[in-house]
Amino acid sequence: MLVVRSLTYVALFYLWTALVAVGCTPLLFGPTRWSLAMFHYWGRGVVALLVVCGIKVEVRGREHMPTGPALIAPKHQCMLDVFAQFSVLPSSCFVMKKELTWIPWFGWYALKVKSIVVDREAGASALRKLVREATDVFAENRQVVIFPEGTRQEPGAAPDYKPGIAALYREIDVPVHPVATNSGVHWPRHGFLRHPGTIVFEYLEPIPPGLKRAEFMRILQERIETASNKLLAL
């Protein structure tokens, strides 16, 4: 039954994605807000379809969700972590690797909503580009989403926070909103199986700008890891 439900979800996911992506192509020629609305609509559909797998998605800590410029720092365990942020944040864009821009439609929409493309091999110039483009996004009263560990991690694995977010934090003057999750328990990092249960995305108390680098990284990791580990018991 688990296999059948999971395969059904995968089929529905790709069907829904294709219908929305292709059907909304004309939005690419309109203002940015139209493509942002499409991502919000698509993300909500991706989340809603999880009912076929017996999965409920719950968002906690809504009082900590930003309405204006902010840096969002979620725990990253599976691809749902990306889709879920699109569905709940008012006006977000992502820091993403350049290879994702090569994906038809997804890459086009991502560039349309001003997602920040990073070349991991560009060194210091990549950081300067990240700071410059993030500042432009914040000026539009929007949110930038960056995964502190850079890539997906297994639930309960030892944390591996990269220095990139600290470097960005040092150069900006907006709060950082950590997000905890247990998504990888129900949507594994690899494979297609989706396990029944409740996936939680918990927005935590924001970290104000201006802290020293070491103190910022300590607080960020402590808040995300502590809350995420508690969610693993659900």
Print the domain residue range for 6.
Answer: 2-231
pLDDT of residue 163: 83
pTM of the model: 0.92
Position 125 confidence tier, pLDDT thresholds 50, 70, 90: confident
Q: Residue 210 burial (CB < 10 Å; 0-12/13-18/19+)?
A: exposed
Q: Which residues, in sequence order, are bridge partners of residue 118?
A: 97
Which of 86-90, 95-99, 220-224 shows the lowest mean pLDDT across its residues? 95-99
* Average per-residue pLDDT for the chain: 91
**By three-state DSSP, how is residue 21 classified?**
helix
pLDDT of residue 121: 65
CA distances for 124 relative to 13, 120, 128, 130, 132, angstroms: 38, 10, 6, 10, 12
**By three-state DSSP, how is residue 157 classified?**
coil
Q: 155-198 pLDDT, tens per residue? A: 988 999 988 889 889 888 899 999 999 999 999 988 889 999 99
pLDDT of residue 120: 66
pLDDT of residue 23: 95
pLDDT of residue 50: 97
Q: Which residues, in sequence order, are bridge partners of residue 201?
A: 59, 181
Between residues 127 and 58, the one the model is more confident about: 58
* Side-chain-facing half-sphere of 63: CA atoms under 13 Å: 1
Which positions ≥6 away from 57 have C-beta within 8 Å?
47, 50, 80, 84, 198, 199, 200, 201
pLDDT of residue 122: 60
Mean pLDDT of 115-132: 78
Q: What is the tally of structural domains in the chain?
A: 1
Q: 137-157 pLDDT, tens per residue? A: 999 999 999 999 988 899 988
pLDDT of residue 64: 96
Q: 31-53 pLDDT, tens per residue? A: 999 999 999 999 999 999 999 99
* CATH code assigned at 18: 3.40.1130
CB neighbourhood size of 22 (10 A): 10
pLDDT of residue 42: 94
